[in-house]
Amino acid sequence: MKIIKVLLFEDNEELRLSLSALLGFSEEFKLLASFSNCEDIESHLIVFEPDIVLMDIDMPVVNGIEGLKRVRKVNNDIPVVMLTVFEDNKHIIKAIQNGATGYILKQDLSSRLSSAIHEALDGGAPMSPLVASLVLKHISNNISKMDYQLTNREKEILQSLTDGNSYKMVANLLGIAEGTVSTHIKRIYEKLGVHSQAEAVSKALKENIL
């Protein structure tokens, strides 16, 4: 069985001891060393050659976000799992943007640490459930809508088409002539670069246009 070599960065001495004990319970893990900040993280990576890095975010001198940036300058492949009490997406997203492999809340360590390490080494992105929820919410709120310069009326008509309505039904719902609907739809097709109602509806749904 291959021993998984772990390097830990955590300023809380009590938690460092707790994590050392937690890792020591399993014969498959070996804690190479632990440090209270990331000031010399580049040299630590070279000297200890860990398989994975566990890193707190809120540390003195050099914190986890800066430490993560330094890790990625030295090694872009090594898994780095962030350990934190922060539950806000500001820290989570910032860590992920700077190359974090996973993000585990400290209250979940006793139940998730071992599986998180294996998941990260297997190419996954381990996250506490609450963290995953915050990340998905952030992504959902920041999906950019393509701007095809559709007018409000064109958007209304496209929405009605997306709802499955025919030209005649669109005209009745919006209180305009069917010929006017046809003119608008022709312009919609030109702006979206499509040639049919099916294509227009598909594009509207895929690209979150409406």
pLDDT tens per residue across span 191-209: 999 888 878 888 887 777 8
Taking 90 as the threshold, does the pLDDT of residue 117 lie above it?
Answer: yes
User: Is 170 part of any domain?
Assistant: yes
Find the CATH number of the domain harbouring 185.
1.10.10.10
**Mean pLDDT value across residues 85-100:** 78
Helix, strand, coil: what percent of the chain each, to 5? 55, 15, 35
**Mean pLDDT value across residues 113-128:** 90
Taking 60 as the threshold, does the pLDDT of residue 153 lie above it?
Answer: yes
- 127 within 8 A of 141, measured Cβ to Cβ: no
Same domain, 116 and 160: no
Same domain, 22 and 98: yes
Q: Which of 65-69, 144-148, 172-176 has the lowest mean pLDDT?
A: 144-148
Find the domain containing 39 and state its range: 4-141
Spatial CA neighbour of 67 closest among 100, 33, 90: 100
Q: How many domains does the chain have?
A: 2
Name beta bridge partners: 34.
8
What percentage of the chain reaches a pLDDT higher than 70? 94
Confidence of residue 171 (pLDDT cuts 50, 70, 90): very high
User: Is 147 part of any domain?
Assistant: no
Residue 55: Cβ within 10 Å count: 25
Against a cut of 0.85, is the pTM above it?
no
pLDDT at residue 140 in the model:
66
Q: Which two tokens stand for residue 62?
A: 């050099």
- 23 within 8 A of 4, measured Cβ to Cβ: no
Same domain, 130 and 196: no
pLDDT tens per residue across span 175-192: 999 999 999 999 999 999
Residue 13: phi and psi, rounded to 5, are -60, -40
- 144 within 8 A of 209, measured Cβ to Cβ: no
pLDDT at residue 44 in the model:
95
Taking 60 as the threshold, does the pLDDT of residue 144 lie above it?
Answer: no
Find the CATH number of the domain harbouring 123.
3.40.50.2300
